[in-house]
């Protein structure tokens, strides 16, 4: 832990690794919180106990801090001067404070801080750590703001950027639809109601025709006092609604809630599409996505190929060395296969037992045979130790070309027949379907 107390020697090195800055005058509280932050965030923590020490540390290493957790009141900074210091230097800041009331809240929210956490419960440490983790995670979330009024759009974008989100701004529904088509990384859309080309309801309906709620969240906003505006957004397919003028805490909580919901849905989809033992895609995911990839290749006038891979003598190895060995063998081969196809665009899955399937979209039989032989060779370098004995793993592979004739099931059967031909011809080889 990079715990830094008053009186740091000038000879101490300044690391280039990003760190979290904790400003807290209570040694006991600072020690407890810094340990929790370091454990949860896996980043070094630098602790300052005064504004004077904060000046020294940040002046020497101003670009090294990815986040600051700052006490509102310090002995030499009783009015939040430490917060002003970190915010003005562009360090994203979370405030924690021992005293809290409306006046304190207003003092804090005058600054561009991520959030504030009162030290008023047994869960304060967990809350600070959770807020810090969320702020760092927000940097992976891209939000699209749609509003034809520049001032409102820029205000909302600024508030979201303070929360560490990546924000894109557009002034119309047409621009929003075009951007969503080209940018699959956008996770959330915040749209105004009154816009000249299409209102927020119509934009919401058009978005929902293309993107389900488990892929893209949508929040409507409006300054209208008509309560039916929120109803209109929700009926059109929005996930939430926020009235303007914005209350920063409400905006923060509603955005965070929708982002967290989307993350939870993505985790559920991942669990449903992954094999528990190997972490590879499962049979259902393979068959659900193979057709689309083949069609995309065919639209470009390109053939595809599919390979079925089977670990040689797996039943015998399993019976001889036990099921734990079999699980290790499957995990090792899966890791090897994943490394072999990483970044290639090929679809890899465990489709049952010791069988794996690889779809090569846009790759003809000759190229697929060459790739499959490289994969076979990679697997043959895998060894496992059991009872002091080294056991070498090998695999047989059958390949079939997909040229648009016949359905995918028939081509899988052809690849399976080629696999059994490889088994008959001595194993640890690749054969092409005739």
* Within a domain: 12: no
CA atoms within 13 A on the CB side of 324: 3
Boundary of a domain, candidates 241, 272, 303: 272
pLDDT at 216: 96
Other beta carbons within 10 angstroms of residue 8's beta carbon come to: 14
Classify 430 as helix, strand or coil: strand
Question: 111 and 171 in one domain?
Answer: no
Residue of 38, 53, 354, 401 with catalytic role? 354
Pair (303, 416) in one structural domain? yes
> What pLDDT, on the 0 to 100 scale, is given for residue 321?
87
Q: What is the DSSP letter of 238?
A: -
229, 298: one domain: no
DSSP letter for 328, please.
H
Domain that holds residue 372: 283-432
Same domain, 202 and 343: no
Q: Is residue 278 part of a domain?
A: no
Based on the fold, state whether residues 325 and 401 are members of the same structural domain. yes
The CATH number given to whatever domain includes residue 84 is 3.40.50.2300
**pLDDT for the residue 11:** 35
Same domain, 321 and 427: yes
**In 3D, which of 128, 102, 109 has the Cα closest to residue 117?**
128
Residues 432 and 409: their CA atoms lie apart, in Å, by 16
Residues 425 and 350 both lie in one domain: yes
**3-state SS record for 27-60:** HHHHHHHHHHHHHHHCCCEEEECCHHHHHHHHHH
Other beta carbons within 10 angstroms of residue 123's beta carbon come to 10
**pTM of the prediction?**
0.76
The pLDDT value recorded for residue 62 is 62
Whether 208 and 323 map to the same domain: the answer is no
Mean pLDDT by 10 residues, the chain (434 residues): 37 59 94 94 94 88 86 92 94 92 90 92 90 95 97 96 97 96 95 94 96 95 94 97 94 96 91 93 94 92 94 90 90 94 93 95 94 95 85 95 80 94 94 90
Could you tell me if residue 200 is inside a domain? yes
Same domain (yes/no): 123, 95: yes
**Per-residue pLDDT at 3:** 37
In a domain, 277, yes or no: no
**What is the CATH number for 300?**
3.30.70.270
First to last CA, the chain: 63
| Nearest alpha-carbon partner for 379 in 421, 429, 419 | 429
Q: Is residue 217 domain-shared with residue 295, that is, in the same domain? A: no
Using CA atoms in the order 23, 27, 31, 37, what is the torsion angle rounded to 10 degrees? -20
354 flagged as catalytic: yes
Q: Domain tally for the chain?
A: 3
Task: State the pLDDT at residue 98.
Answer: 87
């Amino acid at each position: 832990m990079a715990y830094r107390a008053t009186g740091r020697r000038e000879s101490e090195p300044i690391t280039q690794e990003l760190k979290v800055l904790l400003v807290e005058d209570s040694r006991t509280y600072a020690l407890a919180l810094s340990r929790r932050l370091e454990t949860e965030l896996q980043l070094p923590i630098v602790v300052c106990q005064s504004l004077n020490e904060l000046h020294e540390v940040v002046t020497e290493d101003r670009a090294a801090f990815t986040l600051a957790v700052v006490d509102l009141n310090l002995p030499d900074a009783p009015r939040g001067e430490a917060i002003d210091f970190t915010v003005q230097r562009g360090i994203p800041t979370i405030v924690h404070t021992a005293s809290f009331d409306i006046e304190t809240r207003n003092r804090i929210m005058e600054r561009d801080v991520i959030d504030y956490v009162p030290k008023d419960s047994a869960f304060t440490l967990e809350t600070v750590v959770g807020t810090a983790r969320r702020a760092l995670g927000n940097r992976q979330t891209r939000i699209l703001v749609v509003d034809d009024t520049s001032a409102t759009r820029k205000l909302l974008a600024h508030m979201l950027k303070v929360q560490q989100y990546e924000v894109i701004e557009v002034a119309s529904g047409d621009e929003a639809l075009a951007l969503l088509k080209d940018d699959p990384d956008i996770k959330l859309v915040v749209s105004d109601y009154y816009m000249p080309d299409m209102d927020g309801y119509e934009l919401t309906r058009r978005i929902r025709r293309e993107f389900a709620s488990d892929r893209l969240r949508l929040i409507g906003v409006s300054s209208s006092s008509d309560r039916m505006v929120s109803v209109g957004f929700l009926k059109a397919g929005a996930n939430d609604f926020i009235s303007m003028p914005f209350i920063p805490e409400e905006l923060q909580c509603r955005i965070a809630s929708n982002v967290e919901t989307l993350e939870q849905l993505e985790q559920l989809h991942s669990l449903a599409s992954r094999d528990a033992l190997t972490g590879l895609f499962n049979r259902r995911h393979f068959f659900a996505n193979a057709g689309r990839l083949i069609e995309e290749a065919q639209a470009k006038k390109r053939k595809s190929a599919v390979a079925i891979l089977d670990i040689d003598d797996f039943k015998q190895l399993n019976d001889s060395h036990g099921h734990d060995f079999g699980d290790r063998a499957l995990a090792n081969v899966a890791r090897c296969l994943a490394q072999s196809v990483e970044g290639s665009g090929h679809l890899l899955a465990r489709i049952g037992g010791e069988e794996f399937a690889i779809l090569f979209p846009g790759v003809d039989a000759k190229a697929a045979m060459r790739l499959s032989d490289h994969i076979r060779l990679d697997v043959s370098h895998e060894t496992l130790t059991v009872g002091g004995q080294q056991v070498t793993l090998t695999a047989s592979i059958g390949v079939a070309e997909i040229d648009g004739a016949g359905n995918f099931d028939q081509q899988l059967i052809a690849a399976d027949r080629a696999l059994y031909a490889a088994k008959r011809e001595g194993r640890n080889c690749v054969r092409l379907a005739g």
